[in-house]
A and B are shown apart, each in its own frame.
Chain A
């Protein structure tokens, strides 16, 4: 067990050290993620986002939602909602996304979808880059000759990919929160948990397919085309889960979380098994 961990740490350390010295992937990926968020921001108005501003503007819904609470807080809610129209940030956080849900009904919670676009494209680039490192100078052949189990190579690659995607998420998520005034304050822990679990499954499949297509020519678009349809259950489940959490105040769990966990468990195991069949120098 100790030896296994040592091997994983060595292999992951190698990948991350290469990355730290060349900064090939992370710079590219973070800038791509930011660009995606900016492009979406140009096309979508804050009202379409369903969070932040949307919550502040929907004054009527906010008041309705508070009818069960004492009159004082009802007035507070109205006050916050009206000043929300002037786009003060306090008002936006005052009109918690629950208010947006009351009035919105059809209005979704766009934060997850926008972040997913950035994560998916950024992730594909990460998988390509960490695998491309192995193609140079016959590094993959050397790796395959090393006396380690192929499953360990998979776990190490997965770990490197996760670290890099975490770096991407750490920059892109705050940027999106800032630009779109996403209000994640209601349940930041659940948001991080759902996204982290989803990205784990995405990275498992991504690591497998990056190895499968690594020695092919047209890998640029190919990896994205392969990965996106496979990852759709994660996108649907996490968007629906988080929309319900932030719009309707429902706790995460049930079918949505089950799907994400099943995806993670199933594809971690399958990728780990199949990985050694697709590795070829």
Chain B
């Protein structure tokens, strides 16, 4: 157990160290972008967070399918932990994107495809968290959430395509200096480590919470209530 805790501490220390190192690279190593100026440095955190949002959504989907197939609470706990991270990373994407938009276009918000897509994606997974607190019975909650996690993920490409019907001003691809590419690539490391670390921590918390609340009795109670209703 103690080696386990030590490993976790080491993991977080590594995450913090790479985060500090890549942040230093962003400010000391990469050049200032010619047209957009220093605000372009937001990009180094914007893109890794966007990619990690999708990773988290994918985990929610996989865990939801696994729950529906096996009905084991482990998958429900994993999906819950991943959904929180999807909302968290998507919120970072939205906020950094808004800061960038204010500087580049002079507006905080416009209904362009990618902005709308990020907002809708964020809402989609906020709703996942909302239904978790809305359904009382744990077994029922797990089923509803798993179905939602499944449908929501299948919905993501459709939302993405449908927002493309709107007029666009978002940059598709920016020309990147090799130093910029390297820094961007390296910045994926701490952000992804943060994602994985928080996912594992969230899962562990959910498992312990479930163990503490004496799941079996609660389930029986929920089922009794349902059969009476």
- Residues of A that sit less than 8 Å from B by CB: 135, 205, 208-209, 212-213, 215-218, 221-222, 225-226, 229-230, 232-233, 236-237, 240-241, 255-256, 258-259, 262-263, 266-267, 270, 274, 277-278, 280-281
B120 nearest in chain A by CB position: A232
The answer to whether A222 touches B124 (Cβ under 8 A) is no
**Chain B neighbourhood of A212, CB < 8 A:** 143-144, 147-148
- Further pairs besides A240-B165, A278-B143: 5, Cβ < 8 Å: A212-B143, A215-B137, A229-B152, A230-B152, A270-B150
A123 to chain B, nearest CB (A): 16
A280 to B151, CA, bound (A): 19
Are B144 and A255 in touch, CB under 8 angstroms?
A: no
B161 within 8 A of partner (CB): yes
B→A interface (CB under 8 Å):
68, 120, 123-124, 127, 130-131, 134-137, 140, 143-144, 147-148, 150-152, 154-155, 158-159, 161-166, 226-227, 229
| 6 pairs of residues in contact across A and B, judged by CB atoms under 8 Å | A212-B144, A233-B158, A236-B166, A259-B158, A259-B161, A280-B143
Residues of B close to A263: CB separation below 8 A:
158
Q: Which of B123, B131, B137, B152 contacts A222 (CB 8 A)?
A: B131
Docked-complex contact B143 and A218, CB < 8 angstroms = no
B158 near A270 with CB under 8 A, answer: no
How many whole Å from A238's CB to the nearest CB in chain B?
A: 9
Q: Is the pair B135, A259 in contact by a Cβ cutoff of 8 Å?
A: no
The residue among A216, A274, A278 with the most chain B CB atoms within 10 A of its own CB is A216
Q: For residue B68, which residues in chain A have a CB less than 8 angstroms away from its CB? A: 274, 277
Assess whether B123 is in contact with A229, with CB atoms less than 8 Å apart: yes
- Is A226 within 8 A of B148, CB to CB? yes
A255 to B162, CA, bound (A): 8
| A222 neighbours in B (Cβ, 8 Å) | 131, 134-135
Interchain CB contact under 8 A, B151 and A255: no
Q: How far is the CB of A201 from chain B (nearest CB, A)?
A: 10
CB distance from B28 to the nearest CB of A (A): 42
A121 to B102, CA, bound (A): 35
- Specify the chain A residue showing the minimal Cβ separation from B135: A216
Contact of A233 among B131, B135, B148, B161 (CB under 8 A): B161
* B158 touching A229, Cβ below 8 Å: no
